[in-house]
Structure 1
Amino acid sequence: MLSALEKISAAPESAELENLAHLIACLRPATGAEPEQAIERVRELTLLLQRQPPHAVNLRRHLLHLLSARRQTSLYTDIGILSNDGFFSELHRRIVYRILPPALDERYLQDCLEKILPFNTDYLWIQAVPLADWNALAQALDGVRDATALTADTHAARSSNDQLDRLKIMTELLQAIQVLSYRISAIGMEPELIRIYSDIKAFESPFLMQNVELHTYLEGYRRYLQGDTAPMEDASHVLVMLQQCQDVVDKIRKNATRIGTSVSLTYRLLRLDQNLDRLRKLLALVDVADGRPALASASENSTVNAPLPAEQKQLIGLELGLELVEAHNRKYTVRELFAGNINLLARNITENASRTGEHYIAENRAEYSAMYRSAAGAGFIIGFMAMIKIMMSYLRAAPLVEAFLFSMNYSLGFMLIHVLHFTVATKQPAMTASRIAAGLHSRDGRNLDLDSLSGMIVKVFRTQFVAVLGNLSIAFPVAYALAYAFYFASGHHFVTPDKAQHLLHDIDPFGSLALFHAAIAGVCLFLAGLISGYYDNKALYTRMAQRVARARWLTRVLGQARTVRFGDYLERSLGGLMGNFYFGILLGTIGTIGFLLGLPIDIRHITFSAANFAIALVGLSNEVGWHVLLRSAFGVLAVGAINLWVSFALALFVALRSRGVRFRQGMPLLKSIASRFLKRPLEFFLPPRDEATAAAPADEGAAKH
């Protein structure tokens, strides 16, 4: 460390980076070492500079010269701020640069960081050092605060060269502030933002007015740097306009949860937040603390003006430096890009799924009965779908053709179920999980009404139970009756004994991969829920009803009134239709993908497994042992349990993450549910009578698929 300081002292005016990189390497802890090692080394450097002021003077001179000799604006305006290229272009750029890094230009300060801090983990040990230690190091560089204790060397260091370098650095900071202001104006006037928050008029927009106020402020600041003794323009107007910009961003986000959002909108809002935050911090950093108006802090919502002490400005500078170092080390991180942009979109998708999930919760016995009838209708159709799939398999078509046929059977069947307002039980968990997450209002999991939450979970459980009961109680006898009808009509069984044995083997929970395949189906159910929420969000965001109503070709075919009704229906039901369509595609193609890749990949769905069980029994003329019956029945129920649990767990995880909820009362909630079960076990399977009399009968169509 001392040798590195001696090299710097030998050539403090050098613009090369090697000596500074050597000093940073001396501070960096050894690989695998604890962060305390970095803390000790920073304190050792501070003590060394305090004991040898000439080294402190020369190091400060070297740092100022390095900064003034580079172009700094891009460091403050680009590092830690998303580019203007859009989400997918930024994603592509990060992936490409992780594989093949870009060329560097040491004329720019942000590229110099690559040489000084070459490791992606450097920010970890830098942040591990307490801010007080970095502040002590900065004070050691700046010299002793007490003027009577200043040495001759320290006085000599405050030369005209130092002042010139500081002026260059300040000029770069002011340029960065101006660039950020122009960017905020440009992003704030994007048509996509104005469409969602149309209250803003172009000539009244705070995104434009903040640039006007900032221009006045910067003009006064430049006159001040040139030696003008006139009072500098107060920065309070700039802060007011920045706060108004932040308020508009918050209102747009609030509106987006109601009318939908998109990846591009989320990306723009995040980029706008980053520019606003960076602009506040730079304003706080350059503010003059000699009695002129000053910014109080760099916090996001601060609009207070007060003199800012030099010590506080130094802390703000250190915090900004640490932020820039972390952003530099993580600028090609794909995970961070997704985390920052997808949360709001996922929140809106799960929010739409949550609203749909309300239709999957039976509050009283009337709704409970309606749910059973709705599920029974779906079971009736699935009985036919199972027969049709087996018939398609007899065509012996090419694998891809067979996958297409299976997919269309599933997709069209599920879409028909949706249009008829029937319910597939396994589609419920992806929706009800979002509804449960919506009930967790507290971000830290505290101050929750566990009784109400457990009550809602009980309602979800018994609604799920009756839906499964409705599907199985009809799908099994319908498939059985159809197989017998085929036998009586044709004189031979619908499936051969070998095929029947194969169908039974497919639902064997012990002798096959039925449970693993059921888990794959659970993932498909979860994905279908996300797809449904995505298209619901898209229909709202793009105003699907209005777009359909304006389609002249459709108006000529259907007429104006029918076109309007059709548009309203699409806006309400697009998510359900597309979710069912893609769910059918997933179920129909996964088995073929597994066959083509030679992997044991397939799907098992509880209702189709029950229908196949019935068809196999008829194919074997009911000549099966009781142990086969028990094993197959258990297999069907086990497949259903895995279907439901996997889809519910994944949906609940995404819903909680998208809402930023950290639920920490799992055990008290489980105890509350167990207490309810011990006191009123029948409540988990049948609504209490008082709920039936207290609520009005529900329309059967309320339990929508």
Structure 2
Amino acid sequence: MSELRSLLNNLNPDADLAARHVWLINLFAWIRGDGASVDGAVARVQSFIDAAAAQPEFGMRLKAWWRTLRQTVEVTTLLADFGFAPRTAFFSELGVRLRRKMLPGTPETIDSAELFPLVAPTRFDALWLAALTEKQIDQLVALLTSDVAADTLAWQHNVMDALTYCNAQIRATGFAPELRLRMDTANDDDRAFHPLSADLDALRLIFFKIYQNNSTAVIQNAGSGSLAADNEPLDAAIASYRARLETCRQAINGVYVHLQDNGISVGLVFMLRQLRERIVRMRELLDALTTPKPAVTAVKLLSRRVTMGQDGKSIGALISANSTLLSAKMAERSSEVGEHYITRDGAEYRTMLGKAMGGGAITAFTTLLKFMVMGFGLTAFWGGFWAGCVYAGSFVLIQLLQLTLATKQPAMTAPAMAA
């Protein structure tokens, strides 16, 4: 308990930016403990709640600290951009991950996407955040703010801003020539992204109009499937926007078809993955906007951000995720070539045997030429150079004569047999 008392005493809402954030980092570190027990971490959260409730003077400092945090830290970057590459380029994201591994972060920042990994740096944080009960979350809300309605409105504005930023990123990526020119123009897939801004503007207008004209409780019932008559326009706007997102998701499927037919680009695959994940993020933010329990939803969202942040650290996962389609295409091409090395009847077997004998004869002659080159007593460089030329020429000759080399068969036939 001495650590908890020290934490409570060290909170200074008037401290500088870095000191305020360091206090939050230390609080999460104390809650995390040794990372061995989720129940233990949840119990420490309850201990913090009880200790804070028992000290009115600390409660006032905590509310002031929270108010300053909300005013100084940009929350929308955590909601909209966290987990995404700053540019939709594979090597750009690879550079970012390498830099994060080599260079430490700083708590002196107003970017929540930069601060959050310092506050919750382990997967264990996702577990105990997800394990918090609604009662505990409500108690934390009561400790942090005395005006829940104002904070709820500020949260909804932040979520709506995050939707706007995500929407802009989706449209920009959808309009990129690399993707647009590969979409199916017959179904107007290349125009699926045009109405996104108009649909979101209509949703924003209806949402805040209803918020101003009705109680918060009425707004929070939107999207539940059992709306009052006044909320029907909002429900229709949300449904329309979700349908638009689904249309965009289907439009980029045509790009995958193009890649399958014409070749794979790791950069394009990365752009497509980022775009699909942005669409998923938009759906998540729409749920957060219309939830009847914004505080509970915010905590669950933070839990998912922790997991996302941990996944975003792995360089191997980045390479693996974006090279899967390339690997599949390589195996498919190898299997197509391997079909030529598989015989199914006697005639095909005799033909293949003849081609293999021809290839073997040329290879034997190639070996003879290599020993002749070695007999000239050339230096290591020139001996290797001319031996390489001999082998290269023999392989080209085998291809021109449509012969085959038996050593190629396992590598070529295995993908075909697997397919």
- TM-score scaled by structure 2? 0.81
Query: Are positions 1:273 and 2:305 aligned together?
Result: no
How far 1:133 sits from its partner (Å)?
A: 3.5
How far 1:246 sits from its partner (Å)?
A: 1.2
1:14-66 Cα shifts (integer Å, max 9, x gaps):
66123222211112243xxxx54343122332365268645796667745642
How far 1:201 sits from its partner (Å)?
A: 7.5
Alignment of 1:171-250 (within 5 A): 171-199=157-185, 205-224=191-210, 227-229=212-214, 233=234, 234-250=237-253
Of the structure 1 ranges 16-25 and 202-211, higher mean CA displacement relative to structure 2 is found in: 202-211
Instruction: State the alpha-carbon separation in 1 of the partners of residues 38 and 101 from structure 2.
Output: 27
Query: Are positions 1:27 and 2:40 aligned together?
Result: no
Between the two proteins, what is the percent identity of the paired residues?
Answer: 23
Taking a change above 3 Å as real, the CA distance of residues 71 and 80 of structure 1, as seen in their structure-2 partners, is same
How far 1:174 sits from its partner (Å)?
A: 1.8
Instruction: State the alpha-carbon separation in 2 of the partners of residues 203 and 251 from structure 1.
Output: 8
Assess if the C-alpha contact under 8 Å between 1:91 and 1:334 holds in 2. yes
How far 1:199 sits from its partner (Å)?
A: 1.9
2:116 is matched with which residue?
A: 113
Taking a change above 3 Å as real, the CA distance of residues 259 and 356 of structure 1, as seen in their structure-2 partners, is same
Taking a change above 3 Å as real, the CA distance of residues 409 and 47 of structure 1, as seen in their structure-2 partners, is same
1:131 is matched with which residue?
A: 130
Query: Are positions 1:429 and 2:415 aligned together?
Result: no
Question: Which residue identity is paired with 1:17?
Answer: H
1:506-548 Cα shifts (integer Å, max 9, x gaps):
xxxxxxxxxxxxxxxxxxxxxxxxxxxxxxxxxxxxxxxxxxx
Query: Are positions 1:141 and 2:143 aligned together?
Result: no
1:656 is matched with which residue?
A: none
2:156 is matched with which residue?
A: 170
Of the structure 1 ranges 128-137 and 169-178, higher mean CA displacement relative to structure 2 is found in: 128-137
Instruction: State the alpha-carbon separation in 1 of the partners of residues 377 and 298 from structure 2.
Output: 72
Q: CA RMSD for the aligned pairs?
A: 3.2
1:333 to 296, 310, 314: 314
Instruction: State the alpha-carbon separation in 2 of the partners of residues 428 and 212 from structure 1.
Output: 57
The one of the two structures with greater contact order (alpha-carbon pairs below 8 A, sep at least 6) is 2
1:260 is matched with which residue?
A: 263
1:406-446 Cα shifts (integer Å, max 9, x gaps):
333223322322232222222222222222432xxxxxxxx
Query: Are positions 1:390 and 2:394 aligned together?
Result: no
1:77-102 Cα shifts (integer Å, max 9, x gaps):
33211232511233234334433457
How far 1:128 sits from its partner (Å)?
A: 4.1
Assess if the C-alpha contact under 8 Å between 1:46 and 1:140 holds in 2. no
2:349 is matched with which residue?
A: 368
Assess if the C-alpha contact under 8 Å between 1:4 and 1:22 holds in 2. no
- Higher Cα Rg, which structure: 1
Question: Which residue identity is paired with 1:19?
Answer: W
How far 1:314 sits from its partner (Å)?
A: 5.3
2:46 is matched with which residue?
A: 46
Instruction: State the alpha-carbon separation in 1 of the partners of residues 384 and 345 from structure 2.
Output: 42
Assess if the C-alpha contact under 8 Å between 2:359 and 2:404 holds in 1. yes
Instruction: State the alpha-carbon separation in 1 of the partners of residues 245 and 285 from structure 2.
Output: 13
> Mind listing any 5+ residue stretches in structure 1 that lack a counterpart?
144-153, 288-307, 439-705
Assess if the C-alpha contact under 8 Å between 2:335 and 2:415 holds in 1. yes
Alignment of 1:686-697 (within 5 A): none
> Mind listing any 5+ residue stretches in structure 2 that lack a counterpart?
215-229
Assess if the C-alpha contact under 8 Å between 1:39 and 1:128 holds in 2. no
Instruction: State the alpha-carbon separation in 1 of the partners of residues 334 and 149 from structure 2.
Output: 61
Instruction: State the alpha-carbon separation in 2 of the partners of residues 201 and 250 from structure 1.
Output: 12
Of the structure 1 ranges 201-210 and 251-260, higher mean CA displacement relative to structure 2 is found in: 201-210
Instruction: State the alpha-carbon separation in 1 of the partners of residues 189 and 411 from structure 2.
Output: 46
How far 1:333 sits from its partner (Å)?
A: 2.9
Assess if the C-alpha contact under 8 Å between 2:21 and 2:107 holds in 1. no
How far 1:238 sits from its partner (Å)?
A: 0.6
How far 1:6 sits from its partner (Å)?
A: 2.6
How far 1:369 sits from its partner (Å)?
A: 1.9
Of the structure 1 ranges 51-60 and 371-380, higher mean CA displacement relative to structure 2 is found in: 51-60
Instruction: State the alpha-carbon separation in 2 of the partners of residues 407 and 270 from structure 1.
Output: 42
Question: Which residue identity is paired with 2:384?
Answer: A
- TM-score scaled by structure 1? 0.50
How far 1:268 sits from its partner (Å)?
A: 1.0
Bigger proportion of residues as helix: 2
Alignment of 1:272-311 (within 5 A): 272-287=275-290, 308-310=291-293
How far 1:273 sits from its partner (Å)?
A: 1.2
Assess if the C-alpha contact under 8 Å between 1:21 and 1:116 holds in 2. yes
Assess if the C-alpha contact under 8 Å between 1:60 and 1:142 holds in 2. no
2:218 is matched with which residue?
A: none
Kindly tell me the number of residue pairs found equivalent between the two proteins.
Answer: 393
Assess if the C-alpha contact under 8 Å between 2:334 and 2:416 holds in 1. yes
1:18 to 22, 42, 47: 22
Taking a change above 3 Å as real, the CA distance of residues 399 and 200 of structure 1, as seen in their structure-2 partners, is farther
Instruction: State the alpha-carbon separation in 1 of the partners of residues 5 and 260 from structure 2.
Output: 59
Question: Which residue identity is paired with 1:3?
Answer: R
1:572 is matched with which residue?
A: none
Assess if the C-alpha contact under 8 Å between 1:94 and 1:332 holds in 2. yes
2:227 is matched with which residue?
A: none
